């Protein structure tokens, strides 16, 4: 029962206790690199198995599609694409991508992206082409791939204060590849040709330059002096962006994070609520599909922090959620926090290390600041029988490689171990997260109004009819008394919700 499970979690939280998946769903396997298990077989790979796949898990804005780079046991690169628990490879190192003999996939970049239509992008250094024209970004759907950006092709929209603008060409560094929902390819182009060396790096959204090295951003409010590879990100529409940038002119570099051209956490300046100034800002920043952003860093006194869209979300020493006795800690970790992201519903995850005395249980992912969704040490259902009987457990979470989908599944890359503490491989896993529904929202339009009255009456009198009429809604949105059913005992409460009483 969805409402009761969430109610249980909130009750546990009120006692200051924390739980992982034991209070909800088992962690299910999408893929592993456990060499003797069927979950390590590469779909479509003719018996080849995963060696590991801990490189840059990316999700579409809604979370309905995923993509990542993987390796097989022969050390060949694969680009894996899928949805839910099902996927396949769409490109493999050494395979041809056209009838031309020189058109063979080479080394795959770890920067990848996918949109809600399932169209994806990935970087590749084409094996059969000369080094002056082999750096590329591919765009594809369903394994049909074509070159979208290529070294040696025209790089539009640049300013060349020391030369002639308009003759610039993409160079041999194309990274941060991702794709917007409208199909535009976004990326970082570095070492651009036919341009002064102080101006040869730029961030692109389609053919539009978002910002260029040593050129004043937008209306002249900021100038950046370089960009850190693999950190450029946009929201689903391209209206908001973030990247790690060099803010110091000259030969020395001071890297920080920008959001839409602003610097939310300047080095050497104390953030509101702190006395100690910012010492460093960590890579990469996170941009959510709706423009909700996260930046992580630490102060000179080594207190770590997370900002969410400009507001302080958490710091070292805070309870991991309101009322918890367990706190965020970097005593046994180089940094406190390892992931912070939001989904299209603006629900968010925050992952980090805690002060739990059991070092096999001291890394967690918390949802919406309310409860622990998954914890280091949680059992993994490798064989899919619905039981925690495989002697496989989460050992650690990969940095930044965790996402919460709009349909409330938490996807993650992890290290796996057995009960004796021995490493058994990598895991690409997911777990259902119970966020409950909006109480009283019987037609699931996101509000409680008179439009919910007829659906409530239907749920009360004909539960099967309600399920057929509203297949994507939870009938327990009408369970105002939280007794696990919709009954006449919920009527007065429901009326109060609709009328605001």
User: Which tens digit of pLDDT belongs to each residue from 298-320?
Assistant: 999 999 999 999 999 999 999 99
E strand spans, 167-303: 173-179, 185-190, 202-205, 208-212, 233-234, 241-246, 255-259, 278-281, 286-287, 293-299
Provide the H-helix boundaries in 247-288.
none
Mean pLDDT of the chain: 90
Angle at 468 between CA 464 and CA 470, to 5 degrees: 110
CB 91 within 8 A of CB 97: yes
Residue 243: DSSP 8-state: E
In the predicted model, is pLDDT for residue 218 greater than 80?
no
The C-alpha atoms of residue 222 and residue 122 are separated, in whole angstroms, by: 30
pLDDT for res 5: 41
- Which DSSP helix (H) or strand (E) runs through 349? strand 348-353
pLDDT of residue 12: 42
* Confidence at 18, pLDDT banded by 50, 70, 90: low
Distance between CA atoms of 248 and 440, rounded to whole angstroms? 53
Residue 165's pLDDT is 83
Q: With helix as H, strand as E and coil as C, how does 130-193 read?
A: CCCCCEEEEEEECCEEEEEEECCCECCCCCCCCCCCCCCECCCEEEEEEECCCCCEEEEEECCE
Pairing between strand 86-92 and 107-114?
unpaired
**Comparing 29-43, 161-175, 298-312, which segment has the lowest mean pLDDT?**
161-175
Mean pLDDT over 375-384 rounds to 95
Which token pair is 18? Answer: 């924390």
Residue 53 has a pLDDT of 82
Residue 220 has pLDDT above 60, yes or no: no
Asked if pLDDT for residue 4 goes beyond 50, the answer is no
- Grade residue 1 by pLDDT with cuts at 50, 70 and 90: very low
Mean pLDDT along residues 28-57:
92
Average pLDDT over residues 441-456: 90
Residue 77's contacts (CB-CB under 8 Å, 6 or more residues apart) are 69, 70, 71, 92, 93, 105, 107, 108
Query: What would the pLDDT profile of 173-209 be if each residue is shown by its tens digit?
Result: 999 999 999 999 999 999 999 999 999 999 999 999 9
Global confidence as pTM: 0.84
According to DSSP, the residues that pair with 286 across neighbouring strands are 294
19-33, 257-271, 349-363: the lowest-pLDDT one? 19-33
pLDDT of residue 283: 83
Determine which of 7-21, 256-270, 311-325 has the lowest per-residue pLDDT on average. 7-21
Dump pLDDT digits (tens) for 51-98: 988 678 999 999 999 999 999 999 999 999 999 999 999 999 999 999
% the chain with pLDDT above 70: 92
Q: pLDDT at residue 271 above 70?
A: yes
Query: What pLDDT sits at residue 20?
Result: 57
* pLDDT on residue 501: 61
**Beta-carbon-side half-sphere exposure of residue 126 (alpha carbons within 13 Å):** 25
Q: Is the pLDDT higher at 232 or at 12?
A: 232
Interval 256-271 mean pLDDT: 94
- Per-residue confidence at 14, pLDDT binned at 50, 70, 90? very low
Strands 27-32 and 380-381, how do they pair?
A: parallel
Q: Which residues contact 257 (CB under 8 A, 6 or more apart)?
A: 231, 242, 243, 244, 245, 263, 264, 265, 281, 283, 285, 295, 297
Chain segment 391-441, per-residue pLDDT in tens: 999 999 999 999 999 999 999 999 999 999 999 999 999 999 988 767 788
- In sequence order, the 6+-apart residues with CB closer than 8 A to the CB of 446 are 438
pLDDT digits (tens, 9 = 90+) for 120-142: 999 999 999 999 999 999 999 99
Better-scored residue on pLDDT, 5 or 229: 229
């Amino acid at each position: 029962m969805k409402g009761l499970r969430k109610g249980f979690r909130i009750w546990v939280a009120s006692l200051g206790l924390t739980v992982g998946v034991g209070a909800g769903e088992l962690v299910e396997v999408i893929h592993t690199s456990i060499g003797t298990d069927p979950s390590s077989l590469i779909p479509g790979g003719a018996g080849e198995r995963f060696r590991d796949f801990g490189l840059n898990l990316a999700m579409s804005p809604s979370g309905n599609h995923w993509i990542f780079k993987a390796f097989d046991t022969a050390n060949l690169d694969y680009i894996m694409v899928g949805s839910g628990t099902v996927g396949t490879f769409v490109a493999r190192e050494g395979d041809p991508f056209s009838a031309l003999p020189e058109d063979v996939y080479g080394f795959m970049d770890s920067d990848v992206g996918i949109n809600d239509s399932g169209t994806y992008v990935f970087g590749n250094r084409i094996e059969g082409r000369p080094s002056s024209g082999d750096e590329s970004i591919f765009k594809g759907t369903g394994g049909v791939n074509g070159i979208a950006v290529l070294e040696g092709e025209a790089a539009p929209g640049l300013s060349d204060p020391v030369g002639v603008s308009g003759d610039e060409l993409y160079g041999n560094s194309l990274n941060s590849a991702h794709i917007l929902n409208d199909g535009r390819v976004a990326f970082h182009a570095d070492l651009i040709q036919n341009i002064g060396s102080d101006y040869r790096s730029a961030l692109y959204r389609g053919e539009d330059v978002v910002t260029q090295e040593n050129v004043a951003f937008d209306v002249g409010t900021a100038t950046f002096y370089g960009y850190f590879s693999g950190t450029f990100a946009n929201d689903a529409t391209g209206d908001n962006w973030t990247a790690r940038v060099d803010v110091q002119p000259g030969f020395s570099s001071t890297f920080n994070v920008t959001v839409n051209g602003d610097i939310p956490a300047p080095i050497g300046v104390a953030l509101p609520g702190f006395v100690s100034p910012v010492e460093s800002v960590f890579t990469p920043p996170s941009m959510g599909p709706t423009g909700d952003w996260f930046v992580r860093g630490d102060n000179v006194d080594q207190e770590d922090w997370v900002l969410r869209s400009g507001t302080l979300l958490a710091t070292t020493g805070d309870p991991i959620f309101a009322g918890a006795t367990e706190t965020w800690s970097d005593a046994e970790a180089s940094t406190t926090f390892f992931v912070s992201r939001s989904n299209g519903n603006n629900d968010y995850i925050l992952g980090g290390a805690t002060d739990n005395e059991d070092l096999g249980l001291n890394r967690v992912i918390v949802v919406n600041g309310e409860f622990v969704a998954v914890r280091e040490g949680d059992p993994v259902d490798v064989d899919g029988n619905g039981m925690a009987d495989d002697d496989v457990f989460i050992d650690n979470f990969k940095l930044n490689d965790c996402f919460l989908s709009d349909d409330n599944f938490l996807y993650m890359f992890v290290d796996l171990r057995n009960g004796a503490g021995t490493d058994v491989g990598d895991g690409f896993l997911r777990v259902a997260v119970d966020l409950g529904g909006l109480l009283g929202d019987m037609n699931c339009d996101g509000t409680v109004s008179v439009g919910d009255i007829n659906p409530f009456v239907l749920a009360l009198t004909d539960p099967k009819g309600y399920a057929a009429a509203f297949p994507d809604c939870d009938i327990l949105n009408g369970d105002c008394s939280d007794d696990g059913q919709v009954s006449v005992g919920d009527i007065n409460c429901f009326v109060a919700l609709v009328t605001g009483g």
